[in-house]
Chain A
Amino acid sequence: MASLVQPVRPNVATANIQLPGVESYEQVDREIAGTLVPTRGWFLLLGVSILLFLWGAGTWVYQIYWGLGNAGYNPPVMWGVYIITFVFWVGIGHAGTLISAILYLFRAGFRTTIYRCAEAMTVFAVMTAGLFPIIHIGRPWKFFWLVPYPNWRLIWPNFKSPLVWDVFAISTYLTVSATFLYVGLIPDLAVLRDRATNPFKKRLLAVMSLGWRNSEPEWRHFARMYLFLAAFSTPLVLSVHSVVSFDFAMALTPGWHATIFPPYFVAGAIFSGIGMVFTIIIPIRKFFRLQHIVTINHLDAAAKLALFTSMVVGCAYLIEFWVAWYSANEFEQAYFWNRVFGQWWWAAWIMLTCNMIFPLSLFSQKLRRNPTWLFILSILINIGMWYERFVIIVPSLSHEFEPWQWSGYLPSWVDVSILAGSFGWFFMWFLLFIKNLPVIAIAEVKEIVPPRLRSHQVPTGVDVAGHHLDYSPETPGERD
């Protein structure tokens, strides 16, 4: 049988993820906790992020004082960069929950090393997204009127309005994903507590880890809680972005008024989120020198997910065109023609190439396993997905039923500043996160440290049952 042992190139996402570069539990603790030491580059990035954020925040104050007219709105394009960016960030958030919750339930092992990063990304992305509806409205100081709070005048929000559903969807999502992130962190916080030397920090971590003692009952409760939250988060992945899609699908506007929107948006959200995960995790594994933990195989598997969602999204794009043709609805047809070959062809083609065409490169295993290409592609996907929302929002509103009111749209410096500020805000939180809390789940990585390392046994062959491929040190990608 030994002669049958061949180096295996894993080409399916598997639960049997192995980390040959990891020698022991202690190494996991040391290497991951070691990433928490601030470096000069980190301070630099944090400074840039904070400056960007402050610039955006100052611009927002300016906008509140002088009016929304300083943004680029060109009626009837009444929604612009802010709503585009809102949907963009909500979408980003979805991959985190997909990876941390849904893939957990599906026992997809490749999620283990990237899920913490993705989950944190979710929380910060939703925090960012949640600001935009407020930035976007004309009287942001009255935004709480969208919240159903008891009041003397018995005035409630309009529960028919998708914007009110948004309030519920976003706040629920933020609460649940933040809870999920925190619960997952508890054992890791305990590790940090144990390694902390600063008494104040130790005390703080002790409180935050809820006095975790690594006992059997604690682990049992933890696993149950984690499973429960994963199950609880799973429908949110589908519901939140469906609700966001209702903001569009519930209006009469051509290009918006489509039943395909909820699945289309969810697929797009996951796709964009995976793009952002690549954008974040590839530099992290490089600069934190964690290539042996976040291995090429993990990236390969995630890239397949990106490829799959890209094709779902591409299919949705094509279905939209088909439905416009099949409906024989003149307004719809005129709108879609204008979208792709008319006024907005450039935006539509940015969207189509970045989201449909470039991701097809992931059919090549070579490219799937090339972190540089994945990083470049992820940037393209981020751009493409931002433009997807642009293409949904702006061309629809600019080319509606009434030809007399057809218009154009060009963002202003205020839009761009606030968009940049949102990246500053997001990365500020994310950078603070990666130097204060473990960006790789310590406890979960320890779970997949191969049993042979625990027992110091060398593997001898292939599993004859064929369910799992035994570890082979030559498996490509595991040590890259």
Chain B
Amino acid sequence: MSQPPKTAVKRRDFLKVLGSTGAAATAVGCSQERVEQLIPYLVSPDHTVPGVSTNYATVCRECAAACGVIAEVRDGRAIKLEGNPDHPVNHGALCAKGQSALQGLYNPDRYRGPMIRQGDALAPATWEAALTLVRQRLDEARAANGGGGVRFVSQHENGSFGAFVDQWMSAGGFGAHVAYDPEADLAARAANQAEYGTPWPALDFSAARLIVSIGADFLDGWGASVAHQLSFADARAKLGDAPRFVYVGARRSLTGLNADEWLACRPGSELAIANALLAAVGGAGGGTIAEAAAASGVSEASLQRLADELRAATPSLVLGGVKTPDAHLVAQAAARINRAAGNVGVTIKPDAGLAGIGGAVGAQAMAALATEMNADAVRVLFVRGANPVHSVPKAALFAEGMAKVPFKVSFSSYPDETSELCDVVLPDHHGLESWGDSEPVRGTLGLQQPVMDPVFNTRSTGDVLLDLARSNGAMASRMPWATYRDFIMSRYPTGRGAFTEALAKGLGQGSSLARTVATPTLASTATAIAGDGEFFLVVHPSPALGAGAGANKPWLQELPDPVSKIAWQSWVEIHPSTAARLGIAPGDHVTVTTAAGSVTAPAYLYLGIQPETVAVALGQGHAAYGRYAQGIGVNAVDALGAAYDGGGALALSQAKAQVAKAAGHSRLVTVEGSARQHGRGIARALTAAQLAAGETGEAHHEFIGDASHEFLPGLRAPVANDAQGDMGSQGSNDKGMYAPDHWSGMASRRWAMTIDLARCTGCSACVTACYAENNIPTVGARWQGRSLRPFHTADGAGWDTTPGANILKGREMAWLRIERYFEGGEDGASDFETRFLPMLCQHCGNAPCESVCPVFATYHAPDGLNVQVYNRCVGTRYCSNGCPYKVRYFNWHGYGEVDRRQYAFPEPLHLQLNPDVTVRGKGVMEKCSFCVQRIRDAENVAKLENREVQPDEFTTACAQACPSRAITFGDAANEAWSVARQVDDPRAYHVFEELNTFTAVVYLQKVNHPAGGTR
């Protein structure tokens, strides 16, 4: 089902081609201009104006946080997701996962209609046939034991759906409904519930003076990352007064890389450290520093310093979020530290917090279900959204259990490992095609509405369940609603009319959705990390792919991991000193063996991992799940046994492991060239002390003899100034559009951007936003590689089918990339600093790319944009050679051409393409345009409304999405715009200012808070 498009050249065809000569060459290349017909609507649907977007507020379903999103719909197709600015969780920002929901909606591997198993394979069927079969088997199950053998597994969803299924199951007299969430931090929720009385209190980072995270990756997947990030960035934006951040953990995650200091402890020793800190702040039940040092391998001095700091800095914020079997105890200890330090109510706000996340269960519950199935106690299994076959350890025997269930029904949209084992597939609508609700924070309801007609022949699971209930009198009376929407509206606290009104904003008041679930009691013990082996194995969710749900979305596969910068691949993180000892070079295959199993993947040498530890990310290793996910990397769950934390979630750091070099070597699919900036002052930072002393920067190499520009903002455009000033033509006063008083007013503007590195966390949401907005092709899929030899066969032999083959060749197309530079730690032992630098076209006022283009395909617009005209580009690539920032990207293959093997938008992914932006053909250069389509749109709208463009009226896609609010875009020539004020910041600098490029992107230096700083 997931064959790449059959476009390989046969040998005969190649010989025919070979026979022709240069004349033919010119003929075959010009086939891009496809003739299509435009037929306007005779009677236009309501609210549909061709070419004008309609925006619908709805709910993101990519994780439990249930952020609010605004879906931009053009001509009946959703083309972009942006955060809902009024939403209490995400305040307008949206992470990469959330934005990629569109690629779930338009996923080419979605089930296009109901399927029924015929022999070994699922075959398309009609809804009538599929529903009849399900009805019949349900009746049989009911007849057998009153329906007690029916089980329902759903992907946990914030909102009413869980309660709806509960009601349906009990109406039918069926067995349990389990709402599975493989990514939820159930241990922390259980501990929070026990300590704070709420599963997820709101965290106010900016109120803290010291942040200590004990394995809590609050920026990459631990809880509501977007909400945390907004608050964390606000805290960091306090610059000199910002809280110092210490990360304690075995592996430096993205969150860890944002820390000022990292204490590398052994996995499993976090509890001892937490207890020592608890004692330091005077809490009961703590431990000693000496014990913690002995257990963790962290020096006593460091721990003592941290303890002293924690005692001194109030308020502080201590988070416990490890994934060990004793995670609940660590979280509990962290909560007790907060209580003892007086942080509760200041930095920890139990009365705000996330709601609607209750009722989720982890892998332990799935293992229990598997036991039931293996005992032949389950007759009918319903699965919706969840993919336990992939995410539950093999030791739980889930797949084997499913094989014993006589009838399995999947509501999954995608052919994942679990649904491929089912007998009937009743594909659900995607979240963007569905009704629903959520309670993101207590007292606020997020409303989910369909933003477009279903892409495929799918039906809402709620409606299907109601349909199934209708055929049974008893069930029908307990499930009286005509549709699932009806059910949602009936639950809305203030009535149907209010629901319809609230829909426009996507938010309503009230709280009625809580699913009644028993509060788990927090266990006071935990199993220890066990097993043979010299090393600890740390498994962690991938920031982009999560536990695997993101793997079928090419944007997320293509998004380099924020830490390792690897895409389309699995890797084993190993400390350089350990690798040297074992004779392992980067890319050498490494086998990690635990008692439960083993995984083999190429080694990535990472300074940010404790030397006795190796780490593997979750997310890859799919045996099914569509063309983008299948056969890429390894599933780290294969090395995990059935060990769970106190919340019932799978303990990801549960075992010791043996690490051995295996046969084989794979080049790492990384976008990283050098991880060091070689003193070139690209990503700059100041310490808080330097900032306080009024210093403007650290030492870095510069051209000798070149003075800095006195106009630091550097927003002058010599090209425009030439036309206006001394260097303009002496013979003519006509400066055309470059004259500031030209009627177009273009030259009076200077579009510019500031990027605050103190805020940026490297999360990469901006990168995905750029892909979505600008129709950037993903290039890492198996069928997008280059030819390896002249003769190909139809099955793809002869092409480079390595996942990420193009990225191995440095051909990723990300107009905006996040560079991740390390500073310090060269000795492999001392702590190091990480600097994230979003790099995009700098829109130089004096652009080296412009003068070298032979055909004016790139030129300088009067309003300061460095413009790329795709239609004019002949593809000499000289502009890229001239560019010191290396932000120009070339279309090496026909990524935008349907007929080409490397086509990046297989049907119906192309429905996502932004109609305002050209899809580039092969052989042309492309680059960041500062979202010129948005600029022109804002200008046109202002003109239609006969007014000026208002300051900060619009922004670019990256700035819009950024959950750190690190990016500010606007007109730097007009003081009313925020960007014009930000460029006056003393931290402002240009990258490679000495090259006289007069860039329009101004970076604001990061501010570090080293230990023993001025605080």
Do the two shown chains form a genuine complex with each other?
yes
**A66 touching B900 by the CB < 8 A rule?**
yes
- Tell yes or no: B891 within 8 A of A by CB: yes
- Tell yes or no: A139 within 8 A of B by CB: yes
1/0 contact trace for A71-82 toward B, CB 8 Å? 011111111000
**A58 touching B17 by the CB < 8 A rule?**
yes
- Tell yes or no: B881 within 8 A of A by CB: yes
Chain B contact residues: helix, strand, loop or mixed:
loop
- Tell yes or no: B796 within 8 A of A by CB: no
Q: How far is the CA of A60 from the CA of B23 in the complex (A)?
A: 11
Size class of B's contact patch? 35 or more
**B701 touching A330 by the CB < 8 A rule?**
yes
Task: Please indicate the chain B residues that have their CB under 8 angstroms from the CB of A75 in the complex.
Answer: 809-811, 880, 886, 889-890
1/0 contact trace for A86-105 toward B, CB 8 Å? 00000000000000000000
Q: How far is the CA of A34 from the CA of B52 in the complex (A)?
A: 79
Task: Please indicate the chain A residues that have their CB under 8 angstroms from the CB of B922 in the complex.
Answer: 67-69, 138
**B29 touching A74 by the CB < 8 A rule?**
no
Task: Please indicate the chain A residues that have their CB under 8 angstroms from the CB of B894 in the complex.
Answer: 66-67
B residues 979-1000 touching A (CB-CB < 8 Å): 992, 995
**A61 touching B875 by the CB < 8 A rule?**
no
Q: How far is the CA of A400 from the CA of B923 in the complex (A)?
A: 23
**B853 touching A139 by the CB < 8 A rule?**
no
**A65 touching B877 by the CB < 8 A rule?**
no
A248 to chain B, nearest CB (A): 9
**B848 touching A252 by the CB < 8 A rule?**
yes
**A76 touching B880 by the CB < 8 A rule?**
yes
Q: How far is the CA of A82 from the CA of B818 in the complex (A)?
A: 31
Contacting A158 at CB < 8 Å: which of B673, B704, B853? Answer: B853
Contacting B901 at CB < 8 Å: which of A64, A66, A74, A133? Answer: A66
- Tell yes or no: B884 within 8 A of A by CB: yes
**A78 touching B881 by the CB < 8 A rule?**
yes
Q: How far is the CA of A218 from the CA of B678 in the complex (A)?
A: 69
Contacting B788 at CB < 8 Å: which of A402, A403, A413? Answer: A413
Interface residues in A, total, Cβ within 8 A: 68
- Tell yes or no: B3 within 8 A of A by CB: no
**B874 touching A139 by the CB < 8 A rule?**
yes
**B874 touching A69 by the CB < 8 A rule?**
no
**B892 touching A145 by the CB < 8 A rule?**
no
Task: Please indicate the chain B residues that have their CB under 8 angstroms from the CB of A334 in the complex.
Answer: 678
Task: Please indicate the chain A residues that have their CB under 8 angstroms from the CB of B886 in the complex.
Answer: 75-76, 400-402, 404-405
Most buried by B among A67, A163, A328: A67
**B673 touching A141 by the CB < 8 A rule?**
no
**A397 touching B881 by the CB < 8 A rule?**
yes
- Tell yes or no: B496 within 8 A of A by CB: no
**B881 touching A253 by the CB < 8 A rule?**
yes
Task: Please indicate the chain A residues that have their CB under 8 angstroms from the CB of B19 in the complex.
Answer: 54, 58
- Tell yes or no: A414 within 8 A of B by CB: yes
Q: How far is the CA of A158 from the CA of B787 in the complex (A)?
A: 34
Chain A contact residues: helix, strand, loop or mixed:
helix
Q: How far is the CA of A233 from the CA of B873 in the complex (A)?
A: 34
B616 to chain A, nearest CB (A): 25
**A68 touching B674 by the CB < 8 A rule?**
no
1/0 contact trace for B794-817 toward A, CB 8 Å? 000000000000100111000001
Task: Please indicate the chain B residues that have their CB under 8 angstroms from the CB of A68 in the complex.
Answer: 875, 890, 892, 922-923
- Tell yes or no: B404 within 8 A of A by CB: no
- Tell yes or no: A456 within 8 A of B by CB: no
- Tell yes or no: A137 within 8 A of B by CB: yes
Contacting B25 at CB < 8 Å: which of A61, A133, A403? Answer: A61
Task: Please indicate the chain A residues that have their CB under 8 angstroms from the CB of B787 in the complex.
Answer: 62, 66, 70, 412-414
**A61 touching B901 by the CB < 8 A rule?**
no
Q: How far is the CA of A357 from the CA of B20 in the complex (A)?
A: 44
How many A-B contacts are there with CB distance less than 8 Å?
Answer: 231
**B848 touching A403 by the CB < 8 A rule?**
no
**B893 touching A160 by the CB < 8 A rule?**
no
B residues 849-895 touching A (CB-CB < 8 Å): 851-856, 872-878, 880-882, 884-886, 889-894
Q: How far is the CA of A51 from the CA of B175 in the complex (A)?
A: 75
**B17 touching A145 by the CB < 8 A rule?**
no
- Tell yes or no: B703 within 8 A of A by CB: yes
B residues 805-860 touching A (CB-CB < 8 Å): 806, 809-811, 817, 819, 821, 839, 848, 851-856
- Tell yes or no: A164 within 8 A of B by CB: yes
- Chain B, residue nearest A333 (CB): B701
On whether A78 and B877 interact (CB within 8 A), knowing A69-B893, A251-B882, A330-B679, the answer reads yes
On whether A138 and B854 interact (CB within 8 A), knowing A400-B886, A413-B788, the answer reads no
B853 to chain A, nearest CB (A): 6
Task: Please indicate the chain B residues that have their CB under 8 angstroms from the CB of A407 in the complex.
Answer: 673, 810
- Tell yes or no: A406 within 8 A of B by CB: yes
**B875 touching A138 by the CB < 8 A rule?**
yes
- Tell yes or no: B680 within 8 A of A by CB: yes
- Tell yes or no: B21 within 8 A of A by CB: yes
On whether A329 and B882 interact (CB within 8 A), knowing A66-B901, A76-B810, A138-B873, the answer reads no
Task: Please indicate the chain B residues that have their CB under 8 angstroms from the CB of A139 in the complex.
Answer: 29, 873-875, 921, 923-924
- Chain B, residue nearest A77 (CB): B810
- Tell yes or no: A136 within 8 A of B by CB: yes
- Tell yes or no: B936 within 8 A of A by CB: no
- Tell yes or no: B24 within 8 A of A by CB: yes
Most buried by B among A66, A162, A331, A404: A404
Q: How far is the CA of A407 from the CA of B806 in the complex (A)?
A: 13
Contacting B18 at CB < 8 Å: which of A55, A79, A136? Answer: A55
Q: How far is the CA of A281 from the CA of B884 in the complex (A)?
A: 45
Task: Please indicate the chain B residues that have their CB under 8 angstroms from the CB of A76 in the complex.
Answer: 810, 880-881, 886
- Chain A, residue nearest B876 (CB): A137
- Tell yes or no: A250 within 8 A of B by CB: yes
Q: How far is the CA of A203 from the CA of B25 in the complex (A)?
A: 36
Most buried by A among B806, B848, B881, B885: B881
- Tell yes or no: B30 within 8 A of A by CB: yes
- Tell yes or no: B258 within 8 A of A by CB: no
- Tell yes or no: B682 within 8 A of A by CB: yes
- Tell yes or no: A142 within 8 A of B by CB: yes
**B674 touching A64 by the CB < 8 A rule?**
no
- Tell yes or no: B112 within 8 A of A by CB: no
**B878 touching A161 by the CB < 8 A rule?**
yes
On whether A412 and B923 interact (CB within 8 A), knowing A61-B20, A141-B26, the answer reads no
On whether A405 and B856 interact (CB within 8 A), knowing A68-B892, A137-B923, A412-B786, the answer reads no
- Tell yes or no: B495 within 8 A of A by CB: no
Task: Please indicate the chain A residues that have their CB under 8 angstroms from the CB of B786 in the complex.
Answer: 69-70, 412
- Chain B, residue nearest A58 (CB): B18
B519 to chain A, nearest CB (A): 49
Task: Please indicate the chain A residues that have their CB under 8 angstroms from the CB of B28 in the complex.
Answer: 61, 64-65
- Tell yes or no: B672 within 8 A of A by CB: yes
Q: How far is the CA of A100 from the CA of B25 in the complex (A)?
A: 36
Q: How far is the CA of A55 from the CA of B790 in the complex (A)?
A: 10
Q: How far is the CA of A79 from the CA of B880 in the complex (A)?
A: 10
Contacting B21 at CB < 8 Å: which of A57, A77, A145, A160? Answer: A57
B610 to chain A, nearest CB (A): 26
1/0 contact trace for A124-141 toward B, CB 8 Å? 000000000100111111
A residues 211-257 touching B (CB-CB < 8 Å): 247, 250-253, 256
Contact sample, A vs B, 8 pairs, CB 8 Å cutoff: A62-B790, A70-B786, A138-B877, A138-B923, A139-B921, A397-B881, A400-B884, A404-B839
* Ranked 9 nearest A-B pairs via Cβ: A138-B875, A138-B923, A69-B892, A58-B18, A406-B673, A403-B674, A330-B701, A78-B877, A67-B893
> Given A61-B22, A141-B25, A413-B787, list of 6 further CB < 8 A pairs?
A58-B20, A65-B29, A140-B25, A403-B674, A404-B821, A405-B810
Interface of A toward B, CB cutoff 8 Å: 54-55, 57-62, 64-70, 72-79, 133, 136-143, 145-146, 155, 157-158, 160-164, 167, 247, 250-253, 256, 327-331, 334, 397, 400-407, 412-414, 417
Interface of B toward A, CB cutoff 8 Å: 9, 14, 17-22, 24-26, 28-30, 672-674, 676-680, 682, 701, 703-704, 786-790, 806, 809-811, 817, 819, 821, 839, 848, 851-856, 872-878, 880-882, 884-886, 889-894, 900-902, 921-925, 992, 995
